[in-house]
Amino acid sequence: MAGAEAWFESAAGTVTLLLAGVLAVLIGVLGFRAWKRSQIPPEERERRRRALLAAEGKMCDAALVDLREDLVLYCYSVRGVEYTASQDLSQLSAYLPSEKPITAAVAVRYDPANPANSIVISEQWSGLR
């Protein structure tokens, strides 16, 4: 009986050490990913966000509220919730139409998991009509 208790104590200690090691590795991986993410310049992070939404985002209609020099303001509705958003167009001037849109309707691409994350134009796609 004493031998079985010693074996269980030894096994429990081994499992505890193993779990502590897995936890340390997991914390290290998460810390490394956070550090790597912080090394990406904000412009590149925004370009990646636009590319992801253009490729995988859901599309819906939106109303153009205002179009200023480097800013487009728009509102759209997803599952009964109305969102008002804006997008900075300063990095996308080469992709903008030469004249302002005549209609107040635009298309929006948004993230289904976070509908507030949306775009009207990117390097690969344009919702301006």
pLDDT in tens, 15-70: 888 999 999 999 999 999 988 878 889 899 999 999 999 999 999 999 999 888 88
Q: Which residues contact 91 (CB under 8 A, 6 or more apart)?
A: 43, 46, 47
CA dihedral (11, 17, 21, 26) positive or negative: positive
Q: Where are the domains of the chain?
A: 43-119
Residue 2 pLDDT class (50, 70, 90 cuts)? low
> Looking at the predicted structure, is the pLDDT value of residue 1 above 60?
no
Position 75 scores a pLDDT of: 96
Best CA proximity match to 40, nearest among 28, 48, 51: 48
CA distance 122 to 91: 9
The model's pTM: 0.68
Q: Give Cα 105 to chain centroid, integer Å.
A: 25
Say which residue, 117 or 94, is predicted with more confidence: 117
